[in-house]
Amino acid sequence: MWTEEQSSELLELVGTERPVSQDTVAAVAAQLDRSTRSISSKLRKMGEEVDKVTPRGKTFSEEEELEIRNFLETNPDEYTYAEVAAQVCGGKFSAKAVQGKVLSMELTSAVKETPKKVAEKKYTEEEEATISRLAQSGAFLEDIAEALGKSLQSVRGKALSMIKHPNEELRLACIPTQRDKKEKAQDPLEALGDISELTVEEIAESIGKSPRGVRAMITHRGLKCKDYTAKKKVAA
């Protein structure tokens, strides 16, 4: 499972590279202690383009396998997979490829565990209190984002996580409404006001619709104009 904050962190680690290369995916996977498949899948679900995994044209030669073995036996538990990959075989293999090879060689105990990255807290307690206060007062997401100087996506994600906030005073009942989604476009017929003295042709010209489209709108809304009433034309 991914929280909104973890998703934001993922995008920050990936940076601006598009499509996202498999090397970047592997590096981020190591930092977040997740599988490359999980990273690629999440990025694609977020609408980001990720390079497909393609079989390497090169495999480990006996000499390269021996180089890896000698390196690990000489430096047990001193280097992570990424660091090993950078120092053996001229750095031509990715950390993921080296990890696979080390696994097949049964030398995983000789590799240093990749330190787990502690996610940086992106919101202070004061900012959480601000979100809670504004949300409870009925503020829109845009207003909260502006007050905090943060992106709409970030605030939405934080608000989502605050629905289950351990502090009841800060806990939100729901995500604040987004103003753009609440506002609806005005009905073009409603904007014209009283259409009873207007013909279909006049209405069509005013709102940029075809006469046929206007008749359909009138029928759907149960209205009438000078020469058309619902599905029945008014006699001339």
Q: What is the pLDDT of residues 202-219, one digit of tens each?
A: 888 777 788 888 888 888
Helix, strand, or coil (residue 229):
strand
Rounded Cα distance between 101 and 66, Å, is 11
Q: Are residues 193 and 172 in the same domain?
A: no
Residue 36 domain boundaries: 4-45
Q: Are residues 148 and 166 in the same domain?
A: yes
In 10 A of CB 185, how many CB atoms?
6
Question: Is residue 205 within 8 Å of 198, Cβ to Cβ?
Answer: no
Instruction: Tell me the pLDDT band of 183, cut-offs 50, 70 and 90.
Output: very low
pLDDT number for residue 118 = 55
Reply yes or no on whether the pLDDT at 64 is more than 90: yes
In a domain, 120, yes or no: no
pLDDT number for residue 72 = 95
In a domain, 224, yes or no: yes
Q: Are residues 173 and 191 in the same domain?
A: no
Helix, strand, or coil (residue 224):
strand
Strand partners, 20: 50
In a domain, 157, yes or no: yes
pLDDT number for residue 231 = 60
- pLDDT one-digit tens code per residue, 90-130: 888 888 888 888 988 889 999 998 776 555 567 899 999 99
In a domain, 80, yes or no: yes
Helix, strand, or coil (residue 139):
coil
Instruction: Tell me the pLDDT band of 55, cut-offs 50, 70 and 90.
Output: low
Instruction: Tell me the pLDDT band of 137, cut-offs 50, 70 and 90.
Output: very high
pLDDT number for residue 8 = 80
Average pLDDT, integer, range 141-152:
90
Strand partners, 224: 229
Rounded Cα distance between 71 and 95, Å, is 15
Q: Are residues 236 and 207 in the same domain?
A: yes
In a domain, 50, yes or no: no
Average pLDDT, integer, range 31-41:
85
Question: Is residue 26 within 8 Å of 95, Cβ to Cβ?
Answer: yes
Tokens 């000698």 correspond to 70
Most confident of 48-62, 180-194, 209-223: 209-223
pLDDT number for residue 130 = 95
In a domain, 55, yes or no: no
Reply yes or no on whether the pLDDT at 188 is more than 70: yes
Question: Is residue 204 within 8 Å of 210, Cβ to Cβ?
Answer: yes
Q: Are residues 193 and 169 in the same domain?
A: no
Mean pLDDT of the chain: 83
Q: Which residues of 41-73 are buried (b: 16+ CB within 10 A; e: fewer)?
A: ebbeeeebebeeeeeeeeebeeebbebbbebbe
* Model pTM score: 0.33
In a domain, 53, yes or no: no
Q: Are residues 103 and 129 in the same domain?
A: no
pLDDT number for residue 58 = 61
User: What single-letter amino acid sits at 48?
Assistant: E
Question: Is residue 38 within 8 Å of 7, Cβ to Cβ?
Answer: no
Rounded Cα distance between 154 and 57, Å, is 41
Instruction: Tell me the pLDDT band of 30, cut-offs 50, 70 and 90.
Output: confident
Q: Are residues 190 and 228 in the same domain?
A: yes
pLDDT number for residue 121 = 65
pLDDT number for residue 52 = 76
pLDDT number for residue 236 = 44
